[in-house]
Amino acid sequence: MLSNSAKPTLLRKILSTPTGAIGMALLTTVILLALFASVLFPEGPFEMVGAPFRPPFGEYLFGTDMLGRDIAAGIAYGARISLLVGAVATLVIVLLGTVVGGLAGYYGGWIDTAAMRVTEFFQTIPTFIGAIVIVAVLGPTLPNIIGAIAVVSWAPLARLVRAEVRSVKGREFVEACLSLGMGDMRILVVQILPNVLSTIVVAGSLMVATAILFEAGLSFLGLGDPNIMTWGFMIGAGRSAIRTAWWMVTIPGIAVLLTVLAINLIGDALNEALNPRAKR
């Protein structure tokens, strides 16, 4: 719950660091690309627009693939999916992690023990293989992919929130609230969570990056939704032509790299802005 007056200063703080400014610029570009994909490339990413295997920086900015599809169009439409998966998966992860971690950290006791056992389970299963199994069994649709990513990645966030909630709960202002007779939910939501928020925001921002990498990995292995153009799928498809058309794997890879980099940079800047002790 950042107070209204803090919001513009937070943005300014992020932009004032070189990492934050670069990150913001990159991310804004990717967002604009995603927003205007259908304006820039009205024919869509699957349309064959010209001859196959055209190298980049010629007739087509990023060249064409083996079926003569415009790679630039794929990049633009792929941006939509990457951002969508990153955002929605993170939202689910943050919600799940905050609720489980918050309740476990606040109440302790058997709730905590049970919650920690469950998170331990989710941290032990090999996350990516777990996601592969889930998508393979349930079918490669976008909601399944997002769900799989969320299911295998929420546990670390829950543990982080739990640890933070526990430490804030041990502070004396919470005891002061208890001694005034304040209710549990009010203490947890109004008093404790705002103090944990900066941690959640920072961890969440990094989670977006991880989710994008996850999705790219899944669709690279052929577990993407076949009706959707994604960066991972493009790289996977380009593998067979790696000897002749290097750009087919290189360019979408750079797209993933820059997007993830942008989010990580913003995450670092957020961490510095919200968490001054991490500075120095």
Q: Which residues bind another protein (CB under 8 A)?
A: 1, 19, 117, 120-121, 123-134, 136-139, 156, 171-173, 175-182, 191, 194-195, 209, 213, 216-217, 220-223, 232, 235, 239, 242-243, 246, 249-250, 253, 256-258, 260-261, 264-265, 268, 278, 280
Query: Which one, 49 or 118, has the nearer CB to another protein?
Result: 118
CB of 19 or CB of 29, closer to another protein:
19
CB closer to another protein, 57 vs 243: 243
Please tell me the distance from the alpha carbon of residue 130 to that of residue 243, in angstroms, as a whole number.
32
Q: Min. distance of Cβ 124 from another protein in angstroms?
A: 5
Measured from the CB atom, the residue of 39 and 180 that comes closer to another protein is: 180
Distance between CA atoms of 234 and 255, rounded to whole angstroms? 11
Tokens for 132, please give them: 């592969």
Q: Report the nearest approach of another protein to the CB of residue 62 (Å).
A: 15
- Alpha carbon 111 to its chain's center: 28
d(CA 219, CA 211): 12
Provide the minimum distance between the beta carbon of 47 and another protein in the complex, in angstroms, as a whole number.
25
Query: Closest approach of Cβ 38 to another protein, in Å?
Result: 26
DSSP summary character for residue 54: P
Nearest to 131 by CA among 153, 114, 112: 153
Q: Name the minimum Å distance from CB 228 to another protein.
A: 18
Q: Please list, in sequence order, all residues whose beta carbon lies within 8 angstroms of the beta carbon of residue 76, skipping any fewer than 6 positions away.
A: 33, 34, 36, 37, 40, 41, 45
Helices (H), 108-246: 109-124, 127-138, 142-169, 172-180, 184-186, 193-220, 231-238
123's CB contacts (< 8 A; 6+ apart) are 155, 156, 159
Per the structure block, which two tokens stand in for 162? 């739990």
Q: Tokens 């869509």 label which residue?
A: 44
Q: Residue 21 or residue 49: which is nearer to another protein going by CB?
A: 21
We find the least distance from the C-beta atom of residue 117 to another protein, in angstroms, to be 7
Among 204, 207, 264, CA closest to 19:
264
Residue among 61 and 113 whose Cβ is closer to another protein: 113
Q: C-beta of 71: minimal distance to another protein in Å?
A: 15
Q: Are 252 and 219 in contact (CB under 8 A)?
A: no
42 vs 277 by CB, closer to another protein: 277
